[in-house]
Chain A
Amino acid sequence: MAPGRTSLSGGWLAVQGRLPLAFMGLALVWIVVGTLMLLAVPSLLALPHSHPHVVALTHAWVLGFFVTVACGAVYQLAPVALGTTLANERYGWWHFWLHATGVPGMVVSFWLWDLELLGHFGFLVAIGIVLFTVNTCQTVKRSGRRHLVAWSVGASALWLLTTVLMGLLLAANRHWLFIPVDPIFLLRAHAHLGLIGFFVALLQGVSFQLIPMFTLGEMREWRWAGAGFWTSQGGLVVLAPALVFHHGVLSMLGAAAVAVGVTFSSLAMVRALDTRKKRALDPGVRLFLFGGVGVWIAAVAGAVLVAPWSAGGSASGGFNAMVYAVIAIVGGLLPCIAGMMCKIVPFLTWMRAYGPHVGRGRTPSAGALTLPRIERLGLALLAVAVVPLLVGAWTLSDVWIKAGIGTLAAGVALFTADMLGVMRHLWRPQIGAPVAVRAAKS
């Protein structure tokens, strides 16, 4: 063996995880707030998706929980996946505080439908996202990598910025009416820029770095994964303007391209999973993959919904935008993001609480920081909550909606308890005595 020796770069040694953990903690607050909003007003799910209270609820979940987790994950995973360090950690902290201040204000402004207030708080969030985008793109640039993961991270940051700017434009147009377009069309484009441009693009790249790493598998179908990512990107470029200008055929073509892209990515993931050496999947990975299936179903449902002959749209009850949103958000994004969190939070906690003690004392594995039974039950409830919610949104049944919200709330309570249980190791690490090694013979 003639190994090529390398030394660890200083930057590579420095991944500490404070910033991503702060985002994860903030996200936990938001998943609780979003759930409490649903518990307080269950009828929100029976309202049209453009109702101010529904928009407030959506932003609590999407901007408060999902985006916060995803940004925290990018701050951790992008440097790791790209073999570099974050371009500017200070920008990251500015982003954190702007996000922590701006999002609550936005949710309250939506609820009260105070567009002027919304503009102020939305501006704070937008500045934070500008910093996030600059930071992420600079990190990608300095890494020198141009593979799928790099493109996915960079593109998703740019799409997130586009989404936020589109949101500000939407709010401004509601106030001053300078673009003669139905606000509901702008709202749909705004939502899909975020859902597909940010979340799906991120999943279509970073998953192929993470899942093989967590399962000791091999990524063999990079061409399929690349085809999936770029087809979805092309689809979004067609879909977003087609939604704004309410062009049925182009909307359907764009949505179909997104669905085809997600299908390619799913096939590449199935092939990667086939090669895994760690046969039993962790609960977090299982939920993440469950969410992947949900994203695929949502992509297909979206293409059907937007077809010119579809009766969906804003119709109340039946196969409509709310049903599609439940599939996409509760059946797709929630399991993906919660599953990702179940892997990232224990690992970040381990890095801070136990990393410095490796070799000096007995340290647990990252997976051992969770509360296994609570974790499994909580994640199972989060996964199944989509069924009653879907039935409730389809049939406008109050009973089903309440059953779904109850299931979701129970899942969120257990999930939050598990995450807090993991994070408690930050303050109270449990380090055992070092393993005794017998003395050498003199």
Chain B
Amino acid sequence: MNESTETKLDTEQVWEALRSIPDPEFGINIVDLGLIYSVDCNGADVSVVMTLTTPTCPSGSWIHEGTKEALKALPGIGEVNVAMVFDPAWSTAMLSQEARQQLGWKGES
């Protein structure tokens, strides 16, 4: 996860907005689920690179659209670019500690 120090405040705001989006199957937000690969803020413009748990995730379209909508609702936001990638593929190693606790998984970090 790339968080630039010079745009830290704006980046944190973006991460906070992204945390408001839950995955419909697990009810875990997409940040803790490890679906956000990077957030890059350049002034008022935001670029997000994200993935899905599987390329054939049936709710993928809504999560992708919802991510864009949540960012567009940020006060003072400029251009929003949300790229969906599947390389590298998502894996359970990307789950946050909070997500692991929610799932009841005591696996290695």
Q: Which A residues have a C-beta under 8 Å from some C-beta of B? A: 1, 3-8, 12-15, 76, 80-83, 213-214, 216, 277-280, 347, 350-351, 354-360, 362-368, 434-435, 437-442
17 A-B pairs, CB-CB below 8 angstroms?
A: A4-B85, A5-B49, A7-B84, A8-B61, A13-B61, A83-B56, A213-B53, A216-B26, A277-B103, A278-B104, A347-B59, A362-B20, A365-B26, A367-B27, A435-B20, A437-B16, A439-B75
Task: Check A438 against B13 for contact (C-beta < 8 Å).
Answer: yes
Provide the main secondary structure of the chain A interface: loop
**Nearest Cβ in chain B — how far from A217, in angstroms?**
9
Task: Check A358 against B103 for contact (C-beta < 8 Å).
Answer: no
A14 nearest CB neighbor, chain B only: B61
Which of A12, A213, A364 contacts B60 (CB under 8 A)? A12
**Nearest Cβ in chain A — how far from B72, in angstroms?**
8
A-B Cβ contacts below 8 A, count: 140
Q: In the bound complex, what is the Cα–Cα distance between A278 and B83 (angstroms)?
A: 28
B64 nearest CB neighbor, chain A only: A8
Q: In the bound complex, what is the Cα–Cα distance between A357 and B75 (angstroms)?
A: 19
B87 nearest CB neighbor, chain A only: A4
Chain B window 74-92, contacts with chain A (Cβ cutoff 8 Å), 1 for yes, 0 for no: 1110000001111110001
B 54-78 contacts with A by CB, 8 A: 54-56, 58-71, 73-76
Provide the main secondary structure of the chain B interface: mixed
Q: Which B residues have a C-beta under 8 Å from some C-beta of A? A: 9-10, 13, 16-17, 19-27, 37-38, 49, 53-56, 58-71, 73-76, 83-88, 92, 95, 100, 103-105, 107
A282 nearest CB neighbor, chain B only: B25
A346 nearest CB neighbor, chain B only: B24
Task: Check B38 against A1 for contact (C-beta < 8 Å).
Answer: yes
Q: In the bound complex, what is the Cα–Cα distance between A440 and B13 (angstroms)?
A: 7
Q: In the bound complex, what is the Cα–Cα distance between A358 and B86 (angstroms)?
A: 21
Which of A83, A350, A359, A368 contacts B70 (CB under 8 A)? A359
**Nearest Cβ in chain B — how far from A74, in angstroms?**
14
Find chain B residues with CB under 8 A from A357 CB: 66
**Nearest Cβ in chain B — how far from A403, in angstroms?**
36
Find chain A residues with CB under 8 A from B55 CB: 83
Q: Known pairs A3-B83, A5-B83, A359-B20. 10 more at Cβ < 8 A?
A: A4-B87, A12-B60, A277-B107, A279-B104, A347-B58, A351-B58, A351-B59, A358-B21, A358-B69, A437-B75
Find chain B residues with CB under 8 A from A360 CB: 66, 69-70, 73
Find chain A residues with CB under 8 A from B65 CB: 356, 358-359
**Nearest Cβ in chain B — how far from A276, in angstroms?**
8
Which of B9, B24, B53, B68 contacts A365 (CB under 8 A)? B24
Find chain B residues with CB under 8 A from A347 CB: 24-25, 58-59
B44 nearest CB neighbor, chain A only: A440
Task: Check B73 against A12 for contact (C-beta < 8 Å).
Answer: no
A4 nearest CB neighbor, chain B only: B87
Find chain A residues with CB under 8 A from B23 CB: 365
B72 nearest CB neighbor, chain A only: A359
- Beyond A12-B61, A350-B24, is A4–B16 a contact (Cβ under 8 Å)? no
Task: Check B86 against A15 for contact (C-beta < 8 Å).
Answer: no
**Nearest Cβ in chain B — how far from A18, in angstroms?**
14
Q: In the bound complex, what is the Cα–Cα distance between A126 and B72 (angstroms)?
A: 50
| Residue from B37, B66, B68 having most chain A Cβ neighbours under 10 A | B66
A16 nearest CB neighbor, chain B only: B61
Find chain B residues with CB under 8 A from A279 CB: 103-105
